[in-house]
Structure 1
Amino acid sequence: MSYFKHPLADVQAVNIGKDTKIWQFAIVLPNAVIGENCNICSHCFIENEVSIGNNVTIKSGVQLWDGVTVEDDVFIGPNVTFTNDLVPRSKVYPGAFKNTKLKRGASIGANTTLVAGIFVGAYAFIGAGSVVTKDIPNYTVWYGNPAVHKGYITKDAILLDLQLIDKETGKHYQLIEGVPIAI
């Protein structure tokens, strides 16, 4: 085994990359796929049809349900809630669960809820406590209930306002093919 599993974790999956750490009271079902160098904190649940890339951090209390795909370098804060059924009923199952995808480098703040079937763009940033009800474009900042577009963010995590200005330095940016670039 080239990954670390805490003795109190229940890991049934076999497709787990090297240097990944899975902490106590985490449960990983048999068909889940987890990349290299991930950190799965305590009290997480990862269902069967879940794919997690490399260098992903999933903080405590997160459940990843069937249909969730997490690309490389994503951060998922504590107690983030995913859903996979838009009209849930007890003992009634959809023909297929909705798919939710977090693109490379996205960051999801603590206690955020993501409604089933959304796409969170590359390097997007969602503030803590948000409720995400629609797709989030690459390099954008969203927060609130429901989450509202509040600005932009660079690949290097520099927060920009809606006018693409870094309020700390006053530096101006422009979008080039959807990516904030300093001008």
Structure 2
Amino acid sequence: MSTIHPLADVHTTEIGSHTRIWQYSIVLSGARIGKNCNICAHTLIEADVIIGDYVTVKSGVFLWDGTRLENHVFVGPNATFTNDPFPRSKEYPDSFSGITIKQGASIGANVTLLPGITIGANAMVGAGAVVIKDVPERALVVGNPAKVIRYIEI
């Protein structure tokens, strides 16, 4: 059974078993969240978001339409996801450029991810990095713009 804090605003029914959604979180109708996830306080999950199993989304993270988080992903506090490559007030694209985080990847605190990128399986993005292009599988990236500094052995 999932646990939804009474101060969360959850409109989807697609939530896996043993997932916890904490206070002041907003989850829109249509979002899909897997089992054994931890969605921390002060988060937003839009309707066209898919979250796999065993995912942690820390406080202050907003997941916009088109975002895909595969299994065993960690998203650190205040990581910024984007989905519009040319944002303008009151002008919307025909479709949004979502971000995909592959299985086992970790996103550090305060990372900024530009639209349409993919973070490879088991990759790690260091705190504060600004990711402007795809990150290879098992890469550790840091900085602005994010650069590969080494590869992680599994």
Q: TM-score, normalised by structure 1?
A: 0.83
Bigger Rg, which one = 1
Q: C-alpha separation between the residues in 1 aligned to 2:110 and 2:65?
A: 20
Contact 1:123 1:154 in 2 (8 A): no
Match of 1:111 in 2: 110
Match of 1:168 in 2: none
Structure 1 consecutive aligned stretches of length 4 or more whose deviation exceeds 2 Å: none
Q: C-alpha separation between the residues in 1 aligned to 2:10 and 2:2?
A: 11
Deviations for 1:2-26, whole angstroms, at most 9, x for unmatched residues? Answer: 2100010000010000000000000
Q: C-alpha separation between the residues in 2 aligned to 1:154 and 1:68?
A: 27
Q: C-alpha separation between the residues in 2 aligned to 1:135 and 1:49?
A: 21
Q: TM-score, normalised by structure 2?
A: 0.99
Q: Trace 1:124-135 onto structure 2 (pairs within 5 A).
A: 124-135=123-134
Match of 2:21 in 1: 22
Match of 1:55 in 2: 54
Match of 2:30 in 1: 31
Contact 1:104 1:123 in 2 (8 A): yes
Contact 1:4 1:21 in 2 (8 A): yes
Q: C-alpha separation between the residues in 1 aligned to 2:12 and 2:149?
A: 39
Q: C-alpha separation between the residues in 2 aligned to 1:98 and 1:148?
A: 22
Contact 2:37 2:55 in 1 (8 A): yes
Deviations for 1:58-90, whole angstroms, at most 9, x for unmatched residues? Answer: 000000000000000000000000000010001
User: In structure 2, what residue type is equivalent to 1:44?
Assistant: T
**Cα distance, 1:133 vs structure 2:** 0.2
Q: C-alpha separation between the residues in 1 aligned to 2:25 and 2:152?
A: 32
1:77 paired to 2:73 = no
Q: Trace 1:1-183 onto structure 2 (pairs within 5 A).
A: 2-155=1-154
Q: C-alpha separation between the residues in 2 aligned to 1:21 and 1:45?
A: 14
How many residues are aligned here? 154
Q: C-alpha separation between the residues in 2 aligned to 1:99 and 1:24?
A: 26
Alignment root-mean-square deviation, CA: 0.5
Deviations for 1:23-81, whole angstroms, at most 9, x for unmatched residues? Answer: 00000000100000000000000000000000000000000000000000000000000
**Cα distance, 1:99 vs structure 2:** 2.0
Secondary structure of the structure 2 residue equivalent to 1:15: coil
Q: C-alpha separation between the residues in 1 aligned to 2:32 and 2:43?
A: 15
Which blocks of at least 5 consecutive residues in structure 1 are unaligned? 156-183
Deviations for 1:120-160, whole angstroms, at most 9, x for unmatched residues? Answer: 000000000000000000011000011011001123xxxxx
Higher RCO, Cα 8 Å, sep 6+: 2
